Amino acid sequence: SYVLTQPPSVSVAPGKTARITCGGNNIGGKSVHWYQQKPGQAPVLVIYYDSDRPSGIPERFSGSNSGNTATLTISRVEAGDEADYYCQVWDSSSDHPFGGGTKLTVL
Amino acid sequence: EVQLVESGGGLVQPGGSLRLSCAASGFTLRTYWMSWVRQAPGKGLEWVANIKQDGSEKYYVDSVKGRFTISRDNAKNSLYLQMNSLRAEDTAVYYCARPEAGYFFFWGQGTLVTVSS
């Protein structure tokens, strides 16, 4: 099965830029989706198809995907962005893995 | 407004069975693939199963194959997950989700399944 690798944690000061990576074999050839999950809540889609933002998601959230790494970038980080973030691909009819998740801490 | 509401979770002994339900509203269930995704306590998200609109295709993560069965009743706007031979490692919050061309936009609030003696 296809494996997605994320760093367990990322820390950033308010107002700075956070970058969360998602590694996978030739992930640049796949579509990557990103979710934000706060404690006790269901995940929320923040980026789909590598870099598209759903309605209601701030422009501060952006994504890119190339080679073996996809990246979620959060600009001008706010305290409310503190959450777990997961990447996900739809690899085939029978495999739709998520990354292990990255805990974003706002210092 | 799209709503997905899971039910049926609870405490079950190892080797036992449980049936989860997901009530869908705000959209026509029969026109969409549907999925179950789970999250063990303090762990990450794990896709569990998918089912095609008419139930003719079903897919499972390897760890539940032969033990879990996904099904649907479009007339009742409901999705199900029959879980047999439950193990401690199946303990998780189970989410019903609607896939949209590869990503999950709509999620339920989840139902907790605890497998313990």
A6-27: pLDDT as tens digits? 999 999 999 999 999 999 999 9
| Band of pLDDT at residue A93, cut at 50, 70 and 90 | low
In the predicted model, is pLDDT for residue A91 greater than 80? no
Distance from CA of A47 to the nearest CA of B (A): 9
Residues of A in contact with B37 (CB under 8 A): 98
Give the model's pLDDT for residue B21: 98
What is the spatial distance between Cα B102 and Cα A49, in angstroms, rounded to a whole number?
9
* Mean pLDDT, residues A28-35 taken together: 96
Q: Looking at the partner chain, which of A1, A89, A101 has a beta carbon nearest the beta carbon of B44?
A: A101
Contact at 8 Å (CB) between B67 and B14?
Answer: no
Q: How many CB atoms lie within 10 A of CB A27?
A: 22
> Nearest residue of B to residue A90 by CA position?
B102
Which chain A residues touch B if contact means CB-CB below 8 Å? 1, 31, 33, 35, 37, 42-45, 48-49, 54, 84, 86, 88-90, 93-94, 96-101
What is the spatial distance between Cα B11 and Cα A102, in angstroms, rounded to a whole number?
29
Listed in order, strand segments (DSSP E) in chain B are 3-7, 10-12, 18-25, 34-39, 45-51, 58-60, 68-73, 78-83, 92-100, 103-107, 111-115
Q: Do A101 and B103 touch (CB under 8 A)?
A: no
Give the model's pLDDT for residue B72: 98
What is the spatial distance between Cα A100 and Cα B46, in angstroms, rounded to a whole number?
9
Q: Looking at the partner chain, which of A42, A48, A98 has a beta carbon nearest the beta carbon of B110?
A: A42
